[in-house]
Amino acid sequence: MRNQQIRPAEPHADALDDRALRLGSYIAEHGATVRSTAAVFGISKSTVHKDITVRLPLLHAGLYAQVREIIETNKQERHIRGGLATKRKYERARMSRRRSNNQAGIRAE
């Protein structure tokens, strides 16, 4: 006889449905990314993604359509946001080097 694993019961379905609706509402109201939504709610990006792509369409098709549009826009813009973040990182590093050089009395070239 094979050992069968017994899966633990999921948290109450109503709580999961409620969470999916709250996540969808938050994203729709704030134009938020999956990452920022996960941070606000204290859950993983995977959980946010599953709730909005699997549960939300079954609960509220209209809200899901809004959220899907926002998420798609965010996906299309993420390379731009990443590039801007990299640019800010190197600008901060350059400014930090300049401050260090000024304090040490070294002239910038």
Give the model confidence (pLDDT) of 55-103 as tens digits: 999 999 999 999 999 999 998 887 777 787 788 888 888 888 888 877 7
pLDDT of residue 1: 46
Amino acid at 61: A
Q: What average pLDDT does the chain have?
A: 86
Phi and psi, residue 8, nearest 5°: -65, 150
Mean pLDDT for the stretch of residues 51-55? 96
Q: With 0.75 as the threshold, say if the pTM is over it.
A: no
Angle between helices 34-41 and 13-30 (to 10 degrees): 130
Spans of all domains in the chain: 13-104
pLDDT class of 45 with cuts at 50, 70, 90: very high
